[in-house]
Structure 1
Amino acid sequence: MLRIKVSQNGSTRIYITNSYGEKVNNKNEAFNFMYEMVEVDKGIRKTISFEDAVTKTWVFISPIGGLIEVEKVADE
C-alpha cells in the first residue's frame, strides 16, 4: 500500500491506496506510481488517479501547483 500526501492550495490531504499493485509490468507499487508521474511529466496524462482505500472513492490529482509525497506502508 502507498500513503500519498497531497498539499495544494493551503490544504493537505492524506490518502492510502493499493491501486498501483502490479499495474505495469508486474513491478512494485512505488515503481507503478512513478511510472504514472512520468506519464504526467511527458504530457501523456494530465492527472494521477487512484482509489482511496479508506473512503473507497476515486481520487484525481493534478500535480501542477502542489506537492505530492509518497511512501510505502504496510498493508492494513
Structure 2
Amino acid sequence: MIEFTFHTRITVAKNPPTIFPQIICNPISFSHVLSFLGEKRNLIDVIGVIIEVAEPSWVHLSSQANPTL
C-alpha cells in the first residue's frame, strides 16, 4: 500500500511507453485522482514511480490509546 502524505511528490509522465499498461479497468485522468479522496467503494490504483522508501514509524493519534504504524 502506498500512502500519500504532505511530503509525497507526484509528477505526470511526459512520454509514457505506449505498451504499458496492457490491462486497464476504468481508467481516470490524473486530475481526477483527488476527487476520490475518502472513497471506500472503489479501489483506485495509481501507476507511478516510487522515488524513496523509508522505514515505517509509530504514530500516536490523540483518538487512539496505542500508537499505530
TM-score (norm 2): 0.22
Higher RCO (C-alpha 8 Å, min separation 6) = 1
Specify which structure has the higher proportion of helix.
1
TM-score (norm 1): 0.22
Structure of greater Rg:
2
Specify which structure has the higher proportion of strand.
1
